[in-house]
Amino acid sequence: MYIVTGGAGLIGSACVWGLNQRGITDIIIVDNLAKSDKWKNLSGLQFTEYYEKDSFLKILYDDCFQNVEAIIHMGACSSTAEKDVHYLLKNNVEYTQHLAMWSQENNVRFIYASSSATYGDGKNGFSDSEQGLDKLRPLNAYGWSKQYFDKWANRRGIFTTACGLKFSNIYGPNEYHKGDMRSMVKRSYEQIIETGTVKLFKSYNDEYADGEQMRDFLYVKDAVKAILHLIDNPEVSGLFNVGSGKAETWNSLVAAVFKALNQKTSIEYVEMPESMRDSYQYYTKSDMSKLQATNFHDAPLSLEDAIQDYVLNYLLPNDHLGD
């Protein structure tokens, strides 16, 4: 049995899809569906049970589950704009601590989502070494909450058996419910369909021209490959970057969406809200050497190929993984 928290979200539902591709259906999904459209991500997936996250911990501690192979913990508040630190501590830290300790006590594989947001402006590098955690300075409360748990896990010896994954900018099918946190691929697609032009933030850093700010973008299907690799190799543990290992510009990303739609690129640069300027990351690039050293050699799709798959096979037909 596998337990996937955040199993109706972008990465979580893709994990369930990946397990289904292997013929695995004995899966418990945990999430908080509330009034969102996340339930649509579950419609084409095969799983055993669904539990709301608020009631799941009690059921877990009541020893209701036997023969758990792994807990894949992708559930969290993923909003980089979230200001309620109390909520982030309860949701991103305390909940994860409960799952980590239960997994350790019951000898169950634990794989959880950290974030590249922990690297802040990148001035202290992008190394996923546990020894370098104290040097990192996240730029927002979300990144801080992920950093807080990473440091706690390191102190508690969680990384001797568990894996934390510092995901880069993940995009792909099943992000339709994410509202303001949906990827720029999805936003670009919507803007192109509606107006034929995509709006990008101007740069306020002299080192980067407008639209030339850089990110490490990773297609969600490639993120799943990394998670399945770690499931297949339980002797591997620690904190790992999970990205493409490349830094791409926003201009390149938008151009790839236009190309997938067979349209001419049209970009308008607009002012960035002042509230974002001090916490904006101008450059991210995942150092993938540590994960690759575990014999993970699945090269991710190129940005162009991944966006083409996303646009043509999911966005245009409005399909979800598993449909």
From the list 51, 142, 176, 314, the catalytic residue is 142
The residues pairing with 28 across neighbouring beta strands, listed in sequence order, are 3, 49
132 CB contacts (<8 Å, ≥6 apart)?
Answer: 124, 125
Tokens in use for 147?
A: 């950093």
Whether 178 is catalytic is yes
Amino acid present at 230: L
The catalytic residue among 38, 146, 178, 285 is: 178
Q: Is 142 a catalytic residue?
A: yes
245, HSE (Cβ side, Cα atoms, 13 Å) = 15
Cα–Cα distance measured from residue 133 to residue 190, given in angstroms and rounded to the nearest whole number: 38
Q: Is 137 exposed, middle or buried (0-12, 13-18, 19+ CB in 10 A)?
A: middle
The 3-state DSSP class for residue 268 equals strand
CA dist 37 and 110 (Å) reads 27
Q: What is the SS3 assignment for 291?
A: helix
Please tell me the distance from the alpha carbon of residue 291 to that of residue 171, in angstroms, as a whole number.
Answer: 20
Catalytic machinery residues: 142, 178
